[in-house]
Chain A
């Protein structure tokens, strides 16, 4: 695995540090060489931390400064021990060492606060439980023997304070697990350094003999220097103080394991101490056990509160969901009602428009009947013919609008039957021919024999009328309109081809949209509603077919309709009830 470039310095420090610490055992015990190696590693740890602070500029910087000072005090203590190897406790070295521990604990607590990890109350209580359990252990197995062992009173105090400082250190690191940055390598290195420190301290504390230089525990202490120095030399060191959102953690498996271990510490320690005949310090242990109990109770009530809060949130969410569902159902009902009203409206309008149109068309026809009105002069006859023509247009518009309304409501219903498409097209062409000739256009139809399809005769005629009317409308006198029917194994092809004004490029799709009219059509003032091709497409698609348009640069348009040989029947007996 390739190491990220920016981590190389920290890794180098780590490897070089461990290698140097190993060299320590090649030299005579308690010699100058060992002292030099030990002090060099400590010194490099301090330099490494300061270098890391300078390089990565953590914000706030204070926790790291406090951490560096703690390390410096340790190194100073080491140096004093090396300079005065025979000094008895209490010595200057004791003072330096003992004052370093609270600084280490303080530095990680400051990092925790900077990262807002202290807001995770449960974690702090857990840290308290672990710390108190450790305190019970330290008290029974390390501090009690030290207090009751040999030495002057001040020596006993010093011997008791060293293990007490480990409790302080643990309290800091245990709370540090509330840090949101606990997955970062810098965090892990800091904790590794702490573990190494603690292992060394406990090894010394638990052994009955007093510490002598040159033993393996020195290695653990040197390791802790190396880990701490390396922690400051990797980029993630600055993430330890970055505020992050703390997610609510109830209990992970390892957390439960650690807490169970902590809670079991008191009874196990008591039994072991009793079996060994150690003095226990019953009041102190009871006080610590009581404190642990209180913390457990507070932790439990915190968990219950959290669960209650989650339950409330869940209930609120459920209520909200129910309300929303009800609202949706209401809206759906209202939409259905609106849909029904629209259908009724369309039916009503249809009826109400057709009734007056019946009178207009009927009376105009009577008025134009030459046998009834022989005295009607030419000018007035012309006027009435215009009324008649426009009434017809209005009827077509009403029909088209109703048709579109039906298509949009998804209620275009086909009544398919087997029919000869060639014959149908021929009829449409024959009907349109007088109109074409009036406009000076030539019409032709080409088909090789009958083409049988399954289709709705009325609808297909409507489609043909729309396409033919369009072709006639958009072709100047002298032009041609050609229709062609061709069948293949895939289906039936119907082309309506004209030599008209053509389509602007880019409009070949849009012309099938409802109410769309091309710029050409508007510019040449060719009347239309923009519904004909929408209807044509709806009919083609209802038959399971398709329609497309293409236009040539020199003018002229071809509409191509593809129909399957057998249209899927879309007759729906319920839908057929719609009255329009």
Chain B
């Protein structure tokens, strides 16, 4: 089984460390980014299978990062799980409209997040298989 790479984009250090810790425990290789620019750069460089993307980022916000990912032929196939503290139905819809694959609302249980990620990866693997 190949080790999957997960890109975690989160500006809050504690949450970044938390998500990284959980995903590493679950056997993923984790790449960390703290803002949108860095995220796009690392995405191109490391070609992760999946990104856990916070919506409220400094500079380019998460939604814009997501749109650029979907507009980029190289990154287009990447799975994206959105993470946000703003949990209005309108945000969820806008997130899915921009091309998100899943949505996790803060505060979240790290185990649940990990399960969402695994499920998406598994589904994609079986879909492409």
Contacts and interface: CB of A to CB of B under 8 A. Distances in A.
A576 interface: yes
A359 B86 contact: no
Contact of A580 (B15, B88, B93, B111): B88
Interface string A544-580: 0000000000000000000000000000000011111
B91 A359 contact: no
Interface stretch (B31-39, B73-81, B101-109, B116-124): B101-109
B14 A366 contact: no
Contacts of B15: 355, 358-359, 362
Given A355-B85, A362-B18, A579 B12 contact: no
Contacts of A517: none
Given A347-B86, A359-B12, 6 more contacts: A362-B15, A363-B14, A365-B110, A369-B111, A395-B107, A578-B88
Contacts of A183: none
A362 B12 contact: no
B6 to A, nearest CB: 16
Contacts of B56: 351
17 contacts: A351-B85, A354-B106, A355-B12, A358-B107, A358-B108, A359-B12, A359-B18, A362-B109, A362-B110, A363-B18, A365-B109, A369-B111, A415-B89, A576-B90, A577-B90, A579-B86, A579-B88
A362 B90 CA distance: 26
Interface residues of A, number: 25
B87 interface: yes
A501 to B, nearest CB: 33
Contact of A359 (B14, B90, B93, B109): B14
B96 to A, nearest CB: 13
Nearest to A371: B25
Interface in A348-376: 350-351, 354-355, 357-363, 365-366, 369, 372
Given A351-B56, A355-B15, A365 B111 contact: yes
B4 interface: no
A441 B107 CA distance: 31
B90 A579 contact: yes
A413 interface: yes
Contacts of A359: 12, 14-15, 18
A457 B110 CA distance: 26
A357 B110 CA distance: 12
Nearest to B112: A365
Main secondary structure of the interface of A (DSSP, over half): helix
Contacts of A354: 85, 106-107
A362 B88 contact: no
Interface string B12-40: 10110011011001000000000000000
Contacts of A366: 18, 21-22, 110
A360 B18 CA distance: 10
A351 B19 CA distance: 18
Given A354-B106, A362-B107, A365-B109, A579 B14 contact: no
Contacts of A363: 14, 18
Contacts of A576: 88-90, 93
Nearest to B83: A358
Nearest to B18: A362
Interface centre among B18, B22, B106 (most CB of A within 10 A): B106
Given A363-B18, A366-B18, A357 B88 contact: no
Nearest to A391: B107
Nearest to A354: B85
A469 to B, nearest CB: 20
Nearest to A362: B18
Given A357-B107, A358-B15, A362-B18, A578 B90 contact: yes
A414 to B, nearest CB: 10
Interface in A383-432: 391, 395, 413, 415
A177 B56 CA distance: 84
Contact of A362 (B25, B87, B93, B108): B108
For the complex of A and B, list the 5 residue pairs with the smallest distance between their C-beta atoms, beginning with the closest: A354-B85, A358-B107, A359-B14, A357-B107, A362-B18
Contacts of A351: 56, 85-86
Interface centre among B18, B25, B107 (most CB of A within 10 A): B107
Contacts of B12: 355, 358-359
B114 to A, nearest CB: 11
Contacts of A372: 25
A360 B41 CA distance: 30
A336 B19 CA distance: 40
Interface string A221-239: 0000000000000000000
Contacts of B90: 576-579
A359 B18 CA distance: 7
B25 A358 contact: no
A357 B18 CA distance: 12
A401 B56 CA distance: 21
Contacts of B89: 413, 415, 576
A362 B109 CA distance: 6
A171 B31 CA distance: 111
